[in-house]
Amino acid sequence: MMRLLPFIIVLSILSCKTETKKEVNEETKDTVKVDLELKELFTLMQGSFNSAIQAEIDSTYYNISLHMYPIWEDKGNFLYVEQSLTSTPNKPYRQRIYEVKRDTDSTFSSAIYKLDTDSLWIGKWKNPKAFDSITLKDIALKEGCEVILKRIAPKQFIGKTGDNTCISTMRGASYARSEVEILEDKVISWDRGFDAQGNYVWGAEKSGYIFNKID
């Protein structure tokens, strides 16, 4: 019996090593999956879009251009975002930087930052390298305005902001609320403002804007 003990001990050690290797492999597999989902979301958000089709069908919607292009590629998943009436591309009404990252095992977040001097960056979606001249220290996080997204199917993410966490004083509002759906060929975005009593004060009334990808 004593002669068998070393052999039994060796088998036990080998078995433990095999289990550890298996666990590591499974962990690595999960990590790869997480990275691929985040990459998928970030890729879907990139490009130029407009709401021309929706505006033609329903005159209560404007034809709006939306441009989202990656910047600071060595620092994470950042996008420069610019929106304007398609008829006046040199007068954007919204310029932001989004940071896209994983929030939990099942959710992602898109944090929103304001630029210090918007006018300096008009049209810079055509030249994303221009943003290499600034850093995170030069932009301001809009607290409570991050969009939390879930992947509900391949190439389909749905998300929204907190119900009343994103402060907005535009047109008498107290807070803004955004609902977003991101698909392979379009982005649907519904931004609305509400007063302190929860009454609607600005934004599309019926449903979100449908931005079809044009590149």
The whole-number average pLDDT for the span 112-130 is 97
- Check residue 1 and give its pLDDT: 46
Segment among 12-21, 99-108, 178-187 with least mean pLDDT:
12-21
Determine, yes or no, domain membership for 6: no
Asked if residue 64 is part of any domain, the answer here is: yes
Q: Are 165 and 147 in contact (CB under 8 A)?
A: no
Domain annotation covers residue 3: no
Q: Is 168 within the bounds of a domain?
A: yes
Residue 22 has pLDDT above 70, yes or no: no
Q: What pLDDT, on a 0 to 100 scale, did the predictor assign at position 28?
A: 47
Query: Does the pLDDT at position 27 exceed 80?
Result: no
Residue 26 counted as domain residue: no
Greater confidence (215 vs 102) lies with 102
What integer best gives the mean pLDDT of the chain? Answer: 88
- Number of Cβ within a 10 Å radius of residue 37: 16
| Structural domain span for residue 88 | 41-213
Question: Count of domains in the chain?
Answer: 1
Q: Is the pLDDT of residue 43 over 90?
A: yes
Tell me how crowded residue 21 is: count the other CB atoms within 10 A of its CB: 10
In a domain, 98, yes or no: yes
pLDDT at 20 over 80: no
What pLDDT, on a 0 to 100 scale, did the predictor assign at position 120? 97
Residue 215's pLDDT is 82
Q: What is the pLDDT of residue 35?
A: 79
Q: What is the mean pLDDT of residues 128-144?
A: 97
* Unique residue bearing structure tokens 């044009």: 214
CATH number for position 111: 2.40.128.590
Of the candidates 96, 85, 92, the one whose C-alpha atom is nearest the C-alpha of residue 61 is 85
Phi/psi of residue 178, nearest 5 degrees: -125, 140
The yes-or-no verdict on residue 197 having pLDDT over 70 is: yes
Task: Give dist(CA 148, CA 42) in Å, integer.
Answer: 14
76 lies in a domain? Answer: yes
pLDDT score of 10 more than 80: no
Residue 92 has pLDDT above 80, yes or no: yes
pLDDT of residue 161: 98
Whether 12 is in a domain gets the answer no
